[in-house]
Structure formats: C-alpha cells, structure tokens
Amino acid sequence: MIAIKKLGFLSLLLLAANCFAQKGTPLTDHLVFGSDASEKAHAFTSNKSQIIAGLLNEPARILLPIDTGNWQGGSVKFTVKVDPVNQNYITVRLSGNDVTQNLLNLICEGKQVGYRHLGDIELFDLSTDAPFKNGCFYYKTSPLPFNLTQGKQTVQLEIRSSGRIWGYGSTFERYQYPMTEPTRGIYNIYIHSNSSFVPNPSEKQGRMPAPQKAPPEAGDFIAQVKAKIDTTIAGLLRQPKPLSQVQMQFLAKAWHIQWTSAFHNKLVEDKILAGLDSIYVAYMHNPALAQEDPATWNPDWFGLGITGQVIWLLNKPLDTKLQQQITYPGLQSITRKEAYAQMLVACRDWHAMHRRMYTNQSMINDLYGIYYANKGLQQLNAAKAAPEKDVLRYLYESMGMQPWLGSDDASGKPTRSAGNNYWQLTAKALTKELGYVGNYGEVLDWIAEIYDATRPAPGLPGDLKIKEQVEKMALARMIFRYPATDADGFSVMRLQVIVGWRDTHYPGDITYLQRPSWDGNPFQVAVATEHPALLAFARQQLEDNQFFKNYKSNIDSKNFRVIAALLTVPGDYEKVLNSAKQNIQMPMAKRQPDFVFSDEEDGVVAVKNGDEYFYASLYWRARHGINKLGRVHLIQPGFDRIATVYEHQEFEPNGNYYTIPNYTNFGFGNGGPRYPDTTRSAHEGLVLPVAKIPADANYKNGQEHPAAGRASIYKLQYDRYLVLMNNSKKEYTLKIPALFKNAANLSDRKKRITTNSLIIKPGTTLVLYK
C-alpha cells in the first residue's frame, strides 16, 4: 500500500478558517500609511519616505532614493499584532495605476521574508512594466514565517526599497541597479490568519475603464518595417568584415522574400559565402566554436547550427561554389562541402551530448545544435548526415511528442538522465519548467520555427506530426490570456504571468495569439499552421487596433536580433489581414462561455466564471521539496488579488529532507549574487520533505528535480473557490466542507452539490464555487 503523507493540522486549520463574510476578512491588525493616528499606534518610524494623496485620494507613502548610485532607498519600520498560535498572513494594498521598476523588501524580526528572484515566496512587491489594473487597487498576500510569530503577540516589520534587478547580471553591479526614483505608493497593511484576504466592503475601490477599442494608429507601419529591413540589408552588404552566423541567417532568409532587396541577389550570395569561409577558418583555429559561437546569444544552445540552416536555405544558388576546391590560409586544400561538413558534424554530435532540460532551451538546442546542423550536412555530405527520422527524434522529444531521454553518451545512446518517462510537455500541451510558466512557456515562436525547419524547402509542407503538436500547444496557451486594459485604458488581452514559475515581469505582456518576442512576430504560428482558430485570434489583435501599437518598440529597436525578426512581419501581416473572418473568440474573452481548465501535470488551474477570472498554481515553485504553497491570481471587476498561501497537500514521501539554506536573493541554484548587507533569510533552516522520485531518475538528495516537490493531492481554498486536484493514480474522496454545502460545481456545468462527499478521479480537478 502506498504511504501518503498528509500535512497535518496547519493545512486543515487554514481551510477551516477561510470564510467569505460580507464584512471582509477578520483582521488581527491594520495599518493605514499616511494616517497619523494609525502610524502612531504602530510605533511607526521612517527613513526617506513621503506621504502622498494617491489613487481615489487615499493616503499612501512612497519611499525615496537615498542618493545617486545607491541601490538601496528609503525604509519604514512599524510594529503589528499577530496571532501567536495560527499561521499569519500579510496583505498590502497597492494602486493598479502605478508603474515602477523598484522593489519592496519585507523584513520580519530582522530577517528577510521571501527572495528577490524566483523564490516560492516573493519579495513584498516586484516591479511592474505597465499599469496593473487601471483605476483600481490590487492586493498582494504573503505568509509571515510561522517560526517568527509563534508564541508572540506582536512583531516588528520593516519595508526596505531598492532599485530594479536584472536576473541575468553576472556581477552585482550588473544585477542590482541603483534606485533613482520613488517607489509606488504603499496604502495599507493587513495582518490576518485567513489565507484568503477579502477587503472590507467599506474600503474604497476603483472601477476599470469601460471596454473600448483603441483608435487606429496613423502611419504606414508595414512600409516602415520594409524600409528598415532594406536599410539593414544594405548595411550588411557594405560591411567590410565577414558576417556573423546571425547576420548570414538574416540575409539567407531575406534572399527568399520577394519584396526585399536581398531577393535572389548575387551580392547576398557572395557575402554569405565569404562569411561561411570565415566561420570555417575560425573553427579550424578553435574547434570549440562548434560548441558555442561567441557572436551568437546563448552561444552553447546554437553552436554552428545556424550555419547549417544557412547552407540549407542557399544550397541551390551556392551549389557550384560549394563544390570548389579551396586553399584556405594556413590550411590544407579542401572543397567547401568537405570543409563545412567537418564543423557541422562536430556541432551536431556535441549538442546531442549536451542537451538541455528546460523546455525552451531544449527546443533551441535540438533545433539548431542538432537538427539544422544535420540539415546542412544533408546538403553537403549525405553520408555524414544522420537519417531524417533519427534527428526528428530530438525535435519530437523537445516538443513533448515522446519521452525526453536526455543527452547522448559517447556511443550515441541516450543517457535517460531524467528517467524513461520524463516529458517536456504535459499531456495537455503546456511546457513543464517545472510547473506552469508564463513568459518562458511562450514558445510559440520556437515551435513555429521547428515546424518550418522540417519543410523540404521554404513554402512546402513540413512534418505533419509536428504541425499537429504546434496547433495543440498554441491552442492550450490561449487559456492564459485574459481581458484587461492597456496603459491608455483600451481593451486588450494580457498574458497570465502571476502564477508562472519563471516569471518576474508583471502584469504580463499584451498578448493575443502570440507574445511579441525578439525572435518572432505575433502572427507567426497562425501563418505557419494556417489553423482557422489561430488565424482568428491573430485577427482579433488587428481588430482591437493592438498590433502596431504594441509592436512599435520592435520596429524602433536598434537590436539586430529584434530587427531580424521583423523580416517576416509584412508577409505574415498580409496573410492574417486577408484571412477569412471566423466567428471564433479567444477562450477568456468576455462573451465566451464559462469553463474550467486544469493541467494536473503542471498543477495549474484556470477558471472563467462570469466576470471573474481565477488562476492558480497549486504546485508552486517547489524545486527541492514539498513546500505546501499555492499561488493565486483572482481577477475581478473592481480589484485584483495576488496571493501565495498555504494549502493542503498529500504526497508519497521519498524519505529524504531538504533544509533551506540562507539564500535571500535567488530562490534556487546557488542563491545568486550575494548582497553586501548581512540580513539573513527568514526561511533559513526550514526542513522540507522530499516527494518520491522516479527510481530510474539520476537524482541526489538536495538537487532540484521536477518530482521533489510535487504532491499527489492538492486542496486549495481561496475566497469563494475550493479546488481539489487529484494528481495521483487513485480515486480520491473529498468530504465537502460545511462552507461549500450547496456550492456550484464549476467543473460540471455549475451543478449544485447535494451530497456530503465527491469522488475525484485520477488526473482530474474539481472546482467548487459558493
């Protein structure tokens, strides 16, 4: 019999404590910033802060920069009452109008609560790239560490401000930027023991702008794109030094596009050939170039695979010259075909032995480092090229069409480093990194590229199985776009990132079919597949006048990577514009029917319930062990709520435990760049049980692993929602809590619950609404 470990009284207590009283959540304490009486009652002190009249003329405090070049800003300290027995939560009230790059850091009893970057408990407030909710407030809830409140009547809290961070910075100076402007306003602090925070009805709330379409933008943007492309082509042809791989890739693609000045241009062919020769000479002097080319971003994902793509794209016009015998300076005489084949074999074989586990990285490595390198070899030396079915295997694995078997060993056999049954996608076609991912899960540009790569020639149909998977993946992502407004108050669809494992940029990009990225355009996957629904979703962005408005930064960019992605915009735009109108709306559009979507493998739920949108990650950033945390984003007309809360979980134990180290920056890896202050983590020393790991996985205790923190049963109650997710292989019987008697079963056509229990089948999710 399988031993299922239950997370005892605390989780059950949290479920029992929740309520949805009309008076709002019972509070242990409440601080109103900017109120003299409230601040005095909480022993409030301030360093470099200022009172403002904020949204709806409500008082708030902003924290100010200290001096030029300092990464830290102002701070405030205060004392709050806490529950000495139960789990305490802190909720902050913020304005949805504010946009800031600054961060707010919560200190409890001298220790930092949460992590600066991608921890299971976030900083008190992260930066926002756009208004979170125009004209409205939003509330953000986090748990206070139980060990710091247990047995106490009060605790001292401090909010510290700092400048923005760049998660990829290799030094502290590149990672942590100075604070140069005031923070957003901090309005209220609430302390409560219910995991679900409901504001008191007497509290002022704003109102979202009435839905309205943005006005059409003036100017011929497609003409601007074409002009920019041709200017870029001309610049590359004038460039005296040899082209890099990405520059050759751009020209090779442009050679096939009729409206460009590169179309069937002999000068382009000669320039690319000279670039290929230069790459070969460089490779002969430094064979490691096949592993990573410093001129390419994330070089070890690509190696010289882009060269293989260029050769495939221009094989016909270059064929005669590829057969020529060349004596390169200081090297032996050799035909270009033989020369180029050497480096592509090295690239393909090395990348097959160095595959990457995160889905987007796996796709890029396998597409370029392996597949395109081999595709170039098919043109140069068929005897050295692997059979097509053998290299398609890597793409199938990266796209979740068959189990991902890890890197190959020296003999070419897969190492199965994640076991025999690890899939890069869930059965419902979401990426797994390790749970639901917002921005990094938006791989539609890459999967469209993968499908295009399998075409025998540009314009011809590609691999049918991959095309079907592309469509399935794209349609699954549509559930994670919800109605919102842009900075000007006009109607948009926005990408759900709040419940995403690898997301730090809030509130999420304006996204319809496809997120605007550096490497693709918002119509790319619709044009690649010609799927009617995907074309309709792309058309919706045009009809809302939200294409050029949100793509203008790409058009204005000076970044070559971004400019190169503009190449397909004119053709794709025209195809979407001229596509047949379909009576199809995006799933979360206001006029669409209500529904529940759940992906048990990612532990994520999405609910459309009238004018409410409920998203939750029940499996939340549990990299090393069971952390008992869930993440919620509840979107309502008057306000939003973001919450990280404890939930009830049941799991099969591994027998090992993970002790949380003293990390205050990254919530993973080695903790990231170290900060010069000496504040320690409030979570240091907490011991997490490890869930059962597949027996065939190459796992050592303490490592990050997809199964280490994954439970079999999740039970989350938040406000009027009760979610039970059965991720086990057995039926689960849920006793209906008293609060949910006669609730609506949103998972089953809103039928009323008339029984005392319900059976939830394996791999399914129940959502009740009271």
Instruction: Tell me the CA distances in angstroms from 156 to 193, 319, 663, one per residue in order.
Output: 17, 74, 21
Class level of CATH domain 20-211+664-687: mainly beta
Residue owning tokens 């301030």: 46
User: Taking a C-beta distance cutoff of 8 angstroms, is the pair 686, 667 a contact?
Assistant: no
**Rounded to an integer, what distance in angstroms lies between the CA atom of residue 533 and that of residue 556?**
30
Burial zone of 595 (CB within 10 Å; 0-12 exposed, 13-18 middle, 19+ buried): middle
Is omega for the bond preceding 242 within 30 degrees of 0, making it cis? no
Opening angle at CA 94, ends 680 and 14, nearest 5: 65
Report d(CA 78, CA 31) in Å as an integer.
9
d(CA 748, CA 596): 9
- Look at the block and give the residue holding tokens 């399988």: 2
| pLDDT score for 20 | 52
Handedness of CA 475, 480, 481, 486 (dihedral sign): negative
Beta bridge partners of 758: 734
What integer pLDDT is reported at residue 22 of this predicted model? 56
383-421 burial, b if ≥16 CB within 10 A, otherwise e? eebbeeeebbbbbbbbbbbebbbbbbeeeeebebbbbee
Rounded to whole angstroms, the Cα distance separating 643 from 92 reads 10
Low pLDDT (below 70) residues in the chain: 1-22
Residue type at 481 in one-letter notation: R
Structure tokens at 509: 């990009």
The per-residue DSSP string of 696-709 comes to: TS---TTS--TTTT
pLDDT at 217: 83
Q: Check residue 651 and give its pLDDT.
A: 98
Report residue 640 as tokens.
């939003």
Q: Tokens standing for 553? A: 């930064």
> Largest alpha-carbon pair distance within the chain?
87
Q: Which string of b and e fits 600-617 if b means at least 16 CB within 10 Å? A: bbbbbbbbbbeebbbbbb
**How would you classify the pairing of strands 137-143 and 639-646?**
parallel
Rounded distance between C-alpha atoms, residue 683 and residue 148, angstroms: 10
- For CA atoms 402, 408, 414, 416, the dihedral sign is negative
> Residue 434, preceding bond cis, omega within 30 degrees?
yes
Q: What angle do CA 699, 702, 706 make, to 5 degrees?
A: 55
pTM of the model: 0.94
DSSP-derived secondary structure for 395-458? HHHHTTSS-----B-TTS-B--TT-SS--SB-TTS-B-SSS--SGGG--HHHHHHHHHHTSSST
186: β partners: 61, 94
Buried residues in 672-707 as b, exposed as e (16+ CB within 10 A):
bbebeeeeebbbbeeebbbbbbeeebebeeeeebbb
Domain regions of the chain by residue span: 20-211+664-687, 242-385
The first and second tokens of residue 650, run together, are: 């049941």
Based on C-alpha coordinates, what's the Rg of the chain? 28
Residues 6+ apart with CB under 8 A from 39: 31, 32, 33, 78
The answer to whether 710 and 691 have CB atoms below 8 angstroms apart is yes
Reading the block at residue 547, the tokens are 């294409």
